């Protein structure tokens, strides 16, 4: 077996393995992540803040509130029970009532060692009788009376007191009027498509059964926004994939008279994308929906190498495939290297989704290049004859790219001056967008429902929080207690871990106070009034430092730092200072926005570095200063692609710069081809360039229609940059002649 044939078989097997692996991952489970936070950079400067932000974000995003309105109270309650049951059958929902039972057990175990702040004050003032009288009243008292099990275990009803002061204020307010709430949280990520699908089906099943009796349902929860976003992305993937495929077929139809090249191209696209997806899944475990969206757009880039090769068959039908491959090997390899290098630069930035795009794009292009070089010659068979419009495309390519524009207005100095002018205007008039809250347009109906619930209950999941640090778990608890004490009344209703599991010394003090100021003087009189004999109800308590399961997310550890989160509702945030010793207020939206701004500046410098390093590579390969002209079209394209959109209303952003990295890598390919294949012998190469760039512009340019700002910004920059790099590549040709 010859070496090329062996290489072809190995590549085919690699493609097959990738397709099987990707198929297996999507059939056995859904590896797609839809978390918008994956589009935001990690805070590498402070890992504690980063971990806490992720934790707070996850906790806020799993909450669910449903409001059922209309009908009678009984009808609403029946409907609410049915909705709870529907959600529970998904196995992904835990009702607040279940959390309530968990909280009860936790507080019951600590009833003789934990105090409400007001009770601590009362007992310290020797007013234990008030607690005893309160318990006696409750034993007599009507519909809220406790049951007899507590006579033996908690006759002073201390658990009820803890429940009242610690848990009740943290719950969403029960709305007045004809409303019944269903509240709870998801036990799986709301950003997994599987979660969105199952919860969505449970709600639809409920609506089918209960909407007709006049009941109305409102929903609030990140899962619904995530499902909407994912649905939008799926639609985008669908139309980008469809339009790009149609464009590909159309172009291949007009270029080749046979159907075979189109089928080969589609096969190569599928294999290239499968390889990229497989490598991404192997590297990250999951794949972000925006990476998949980019994958749809990658069709236009992956097909380039196939197009370059097949077009050589039109130009030189009698030349053997091996010779044609040799003819394009160097420019194609150099172009692939610069493209993969450009994608690799995205790995330098700590944005999970863009790192996936880097791996997907880089490995996809590498796989496509491998296929075009060694598999395609065997698949091609006899070179396809020129199609009905191949000559017209050739004439267009020659007209556009074969010679430098005659007009002086298109001379390099004038073009450079124009680009600088556009850049200067953009710097003066354009603006940047870093505010993460403006990145994704939410569904109007879901937003309206969430606003309605917020008005009814005050429920508005907040990602803002106070972060408290300590050198040990106990130190952190002490710091948090001290902070709550300093904040005074503003902190009364805040959900804090140290209220449930205080520092060791506080627990010991509370236990002693309960014993001396309540149990010793007040338990016997209470039991006497109930005609009960002496009790050892409070003999066994298990304080511990652990939190109840529903609250474990409030505490964490990063390295040697112990930390806790106190969620900070917007209504209280204004009353709290921004920070102090061992604590700080963290506003993730503001922090992410600041990070985005920081990385935008950093990435801009990185882009300049990438252009310079590509120039160095070109100098190293060609060993001539004149080769630097290859960078001119791309540089002009980059400057214009970054500066023009802000003047047309699309703000400059970190994501524009991410797109610019792709332009820096892929756009230079055209100039390299022009440099490598000047004059008449490069005519069919220019046809390949024109077709490849057109495909890339169509597919990536369609991202401009996305409703997600980062994707739109990325798409516009790449499409514009690639188009300009293509058009201006004729400047290179003219210099090299």
Partner 1 sequence: MKPRHLLFAAVASLPLAATACPPPTSLTGSAIRQNFTETRSLTGLPTPLRSTGQLVVTPGQVEWHTTTPFNIDTFITATGMTQSIDDGPAQQVATGNNGMDAQITGIVASLMQGRWNDLRTMFQIIITQTNANQNWRVTLHPLDAKLAGFLGNITVEGCTGVTSFQLTQPNGDTELIAFTPAPP
Interacting residues toward partner 1 by CB under 8 A: 72-78, 81, 96-97, 100, 104, 134, 136-137, 139-145, 147-149, 151-152, 160, 163-164, 167-168, 173-181, 530-532
503-511's contacts with Cβ under 8 Å and 24+ in sequence apart are 503/474, 503/477, 503/478, 504/474, 504/477, 504/545, 505/478, 506/477, 506/478, 506/481, 507/113, 507/114, 507/543, 510/113, 510/114, 510/115, 510/120, 511/112, 511/113, 511/541, 511/543
Query: Which candidate, 230, 270, 299, 246, places its Cα nearest to that of 701?
Result: 299
Query: Which candidate, 644, 660, 664, 667, places its Cα nearest to that of 603?
Result: 660
CB of 366 to partner 1, least distance (A): 57
Q: What are phi and psi of 21, to 5 degrees?
A: -65, -45
Select 175 or 405, whichever has its Cβ closest to partner 1. Answer: 175
- The two tokens of residue 524 are 């016997």
Select 69 or 231, whichever has its Cβ closest to partner 1. Answer: 69
CB of 96 to partner 1, least distance (A): 8
- The two tokens of residue 310 are 């097949």
Select 145 or 441, whichever has its Cβ closest to partner 1. Answer: 145
Select 176 or 540, whichever has its Cβ closest to partner 1. Answer: 176
Q: What are phi and psi of 259, to 5 degrees?
A: -80, -20
SS3 409: helix
Select 147 or 208, whichever has its Cβ closest to partner 1. Answer: 147
- CA–CA separation, 334 and 340 (whole Å): 10
Select 94 or 325, whichever has its Cβ closest to partner 1. Answer: 94
- CA–CA separation, 102 and 167 (whole Å): 11
Select 146 or 678, whichever has its Cβ closest to partner 1. Answer: 146
- The two tokens of residue 612 are 């310079």
Select 440 or 535, whichever has its Cβ closest to partner 1. Answer: 535
Select 145 or 323, whichever has its Cβ closest to partner 1. Answer: 145
560 Cβ neighbours under 8 A, 6+ residues apart: 471
- CA–CA separation, 536 and 217 (whole Å): 49
Distances (CA, A) of 347 to 355, 516, 665: 5, 62, 14
CB of 113 to partner 1, least distance (A): 20
Residue ranges in 70-154 assigned as alpha helix (H): 73-89, 96-109, 117-124, 128-140, 149-153
CB of 531 to partner 1, least distance (A): 5
Select 28 or 147, whichever has its Cβ closest to partner 1. Answer: 147
CB of 103 to partner 1, least distance (A): 9
CB of 100 to partner 1, least distance (A): 6
Segment (H or E) for 30: none
User: With the CA atoms of 382, 386, 387 and 392 taken in that order, what torsion angle do they form, in degrees rounded to the nearest 10?
Assistant: 160
- CA–CA separation, 188 and 190 (whole Å): 6
CB of 15 to partner 1, least distance (A): 56
- The two tokens of residue 379 are 């698949």
Torsional sign, CA 234, 238, 244, 248: positive
SS3 32: strand
Select 168 or 648, whichever has its Cβ closest to partner 1. Answer: 168
CB of 217 to partner 1, least distance (A): 17
116 Cβ neighbours under 8 A, 6+ residues apart: 161, 162, 164, 165, 166
Select 163 or 711, whichever has its Cβ closest to partner 1. Answer: 163
CB of 164 to partner 1, least distance (A): 4
Q: How many helices (H) and strands (E) does the chain have?
A: 30, 11
Select 57 or 184, whichever has its Cβ closest to partner 1. Answer: 184
- CA–CA separation, 478 and 467 (whole Å): 13
Select 78 or 707, whichever has its Cβ closest to partner 1. Answer: 78
CB of 70 to partner 1, least distance (A): 13
Q: HSE-up of 628 (CA within 13 Å, CB side)?
A: 8
CB of 86 to partner 1, least distance (A): 15
CB of 445 to partner 1, least distance (A): 26
Query: Which candidate, 171, 265, 138, places its Cα nearest to that of 550?
Result: 171
Query: Which candidate, 513, 509, 511, places its Cα nearest to that of 122?
Result: 513
CB of 69 to partner 1, least distance (A): 11
CB of 166 to partner 1, least distance (A): 10
Select 96 or 363, whichever has its Cβ closest to partner 1. Answer: 96
CB of 133 to partner 1, least distance (A): 9
CB of 709 to partner 1, least distance (A): 40
SS3 543: coil
Q: Are 253 and 393 in contact (CB under 8 A)?
A: no
209 by Cβ neighbours in 10 Å (0-12 / 13-18 / 19+) ranks as: middle
């Amino acid at each position: 077996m010859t070496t090329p044939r062996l290489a072809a078989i190995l590549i085919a097997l690699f493609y097959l393995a990738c397709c099987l692996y990707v198929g297996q991952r999507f059939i056995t489970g859904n590896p797609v992540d839809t978390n918008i936070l994956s589009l935001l950079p990690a805070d590498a400067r402070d890992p504690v803040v980063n971990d806490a932000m992720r934790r707070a974000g996850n906790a806020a995003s799993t909450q669910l509130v449903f409001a059922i309105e209309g009908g009678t109270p009984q009808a609403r309650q029946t409907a609410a029970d049915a909705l709870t049951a529907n959600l529970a059958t998904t196995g992904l929902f835990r009702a607040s009532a279940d959390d309530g039972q968990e909280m009860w057990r936790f507080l019951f175990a600590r009833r003789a060692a934990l105090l409400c702040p007001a009770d601590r004050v009362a007992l310290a003032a020797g007013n234990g009788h008030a607690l005893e009288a309160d318990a006696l009243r409750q034993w007599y008292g009507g519909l809220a009376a406790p049951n007899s099990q507590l006579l033996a275990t908690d006759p002073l009803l201390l658990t009820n007191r803890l429940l009242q002061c610690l848990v009740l204020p943290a719950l969403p307010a029960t709305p007045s009027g004809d409303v019944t709430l269903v509240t709870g949280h998801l036990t799986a990520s709301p950003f997994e498509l599987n979660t969105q699908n199952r919860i969505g089906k449970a709600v639809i099943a409920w609506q089918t059964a209960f909407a007709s009796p006049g009941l109305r349902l409102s929903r609030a929860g990140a899962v619904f926004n995530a499902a909407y976003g994912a649905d939008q992305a799926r639609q985008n993937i669908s139309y980008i994939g469809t339009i790009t495929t149609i464009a590909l077929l159309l172009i291949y139809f007009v270029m080749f008279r046979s159907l075979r090249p189109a089928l080969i191209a589609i096969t190569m696209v599928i294999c290239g994308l499968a390889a990229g997806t497989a490598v991404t899944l192997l590297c990250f475990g999951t794949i972000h929906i925006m990476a998949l969206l980019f994958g749809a757009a990658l069709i236009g880039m992956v097909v380039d190498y196939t197009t370059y090769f097949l077009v050589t068959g039109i130009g030189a039908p009698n030349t053997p495939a091996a010779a044609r491959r040799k003819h394009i090997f160097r420019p194609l390899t150099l172009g692939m290297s610069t493209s993969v290098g450009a994608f690799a630069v995205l790995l330098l930035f700590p944005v999970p989704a863009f790192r996936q795009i880097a791996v997907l794009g880089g490995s996809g292009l590498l796989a496509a290049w491998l296929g075009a070089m060694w598999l395609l010659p065997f698949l091609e068979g006899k070179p396809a004859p020129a199609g009905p419009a191949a000559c017209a495309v050739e004439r267009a390519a020659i007209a556009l790219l074969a010679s430098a524009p005659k007009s002086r207005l298109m001379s390099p100095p004038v073009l450079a001056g124009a680009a600088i002018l556009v850049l200067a205007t953009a710097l003066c008039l354009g603006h940047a967008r870093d505010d993460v809250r403006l990145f994704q347009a939410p569904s109007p109906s879901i937003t309206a429902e969430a606003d309605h619930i917020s008005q009814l209950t005050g429920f508005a999941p907040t990602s803002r929080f106070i972060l408290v640090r300590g050198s040990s778990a106990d130190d952190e608890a002490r710091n948090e207690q001290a902070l709550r004490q300093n904040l005074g009344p503003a902190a009364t209703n805040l959900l804090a871990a140290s209220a449930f599991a205080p520092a060791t010394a506080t627990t010991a003090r509370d236990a002693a106070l309960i014993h001396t100021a309540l149990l010793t003087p007040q338990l016997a009189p209470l039991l006497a009034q109930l005609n009960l004999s002496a009790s050892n109800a409070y003999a066994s308590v298990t304080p511990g430092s652990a939190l109840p399961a529903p609250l474990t997310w409030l505490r964490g550890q990063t390295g040697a730092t112990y930390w806790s989160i106190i969620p900070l509702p917007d209504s209280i945030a204004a009353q709290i200072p921004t920070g102090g010793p061992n604590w700080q207020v963290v506003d993730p939206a503001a922090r992410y926005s600041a990070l985005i701004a920081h990385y935008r500046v950093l990435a801009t410098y990185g882009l300049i570095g990438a252009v310079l390093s590509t120039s160095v590579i070109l100098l190293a390969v060609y060993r001539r200063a004149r080769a630097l002209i290859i960078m001119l079209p791309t540089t002009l394209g980059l400057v214009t692609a970054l500066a023009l959109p802000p003047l047309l209303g699309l703000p400059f952003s970190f994501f524009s710069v991410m797109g610019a990295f792709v332009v820096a890598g892929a756009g230079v390919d055209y100039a390299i081809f022009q440099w490598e294949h000047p004059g008449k012998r490069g005519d069919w190469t220019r046809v390949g360039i024109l077709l490849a760039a057109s495909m890339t512009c169509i597919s990536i340019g369609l991202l401009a229609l996305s409703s997600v700002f980062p994707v739109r910004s990325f798409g516009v920059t790449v499409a514009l940059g690639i188009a300009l790099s293509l058009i201006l590549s004729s400047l290179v040709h003219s210099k090299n002649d």
